[in-house]
Structure 1
């Protein structure tokens, strides 16, 4: 049985979480967190083996949880959102006074699709959690 080529590479989510952690001065204030995070960063940079990385990430996760951070290292609230960068999707929504729930793809360089109910172009907006 052969190992898959991805087994030697670190998990992208974990690397993103480490990046977000290293960018947060508040999270690094707890004793030992900065040192362990920098050790993990150095292992990533040097191309360390997956077992060594997993052990270091596990120790960092445990240290974060012991210091009171219930998210640990990898959680949806860390690593997927970096301060200053927000993902968004542009959509076209109903422009009229009687708004329907139609949502269409809105391309940057093309006009918004036509709304047949209100006989006008739909307006471009960002897709939010309510849609």
Structure 2
């Protein structure tokens, strides 16, 4: 089994990966994954302490790896990084107080994607240099 990463607070990559995971019904069907993901979402919404959140992320990472997902929780294919993006691209970003760094392409004629962590639609904006 692959070693699980440590999750310092705030781990924006883990929050983005959680948001993407919660939006993926096929990944949530695995035993133990849905419960751990929903627990992590509730802790993020409640602005839980660093230790409690890190423990929850670790449990979710372990649950994913036990079901055969070698990526675990944090992996570039699940998270929200996009190297080489120029600042004029329209994106949808996390709307809520439990911020994650998930960034999705925002299409003009479609509504913004749903943020599974905060339970609302993401907000549209332009990609800034800090993202």
TM-score (norm 2): 0.55
Structure 2 Cα separation of the partners of residues 78 and 16 of structure 1: 8
Equivalence for 1:24:
24
Question: Is the CA contact (8 Å cut-off) linking 1:10 and 1:53 kept in structure 2?
Answer: no
Q: CA RMSD of the aligned region, Å? A: 2.3
- Distance, in Å, in 1 between the alignment partners of 2:47 and 2:9 is 8
Does residue 1:37 correspond to 2:25, yes or no?
no
CA distance in 2, matches of 1:88, 1:13: 17
TM-score by length of 1: 0.55
- More relative contact order, 1 or 2 (CA 8 Å, 6+ apart): 2
Q: What are the ranges of 5 or more consecutive residues in structure 1 without an aligned counterpart?
A: 1-7, 91-131
State the match for 1:56 in structure 2. Answer: 56
Structure 2 partner of 1:112: none
Instruction: State the distance in 2 between where 1:64 and 1:31 align.
Output: 9
Between the aligned partners of 1:14 and 1:30, the Cα distance in structure 2 is 19
Give the number of the structure whose alpha-carbon radius of gyration is greater: 1
Instruction: Note the residue ranges of structure 2 that are not aligned, 5 or more in a row.
Output: 1-7, 88-131
Structure 1 residue 10, shift from structure 2 partner: 2.3
How far residue 88 of structure 1 moved from its aligned partner, in angstroms, is 4.2
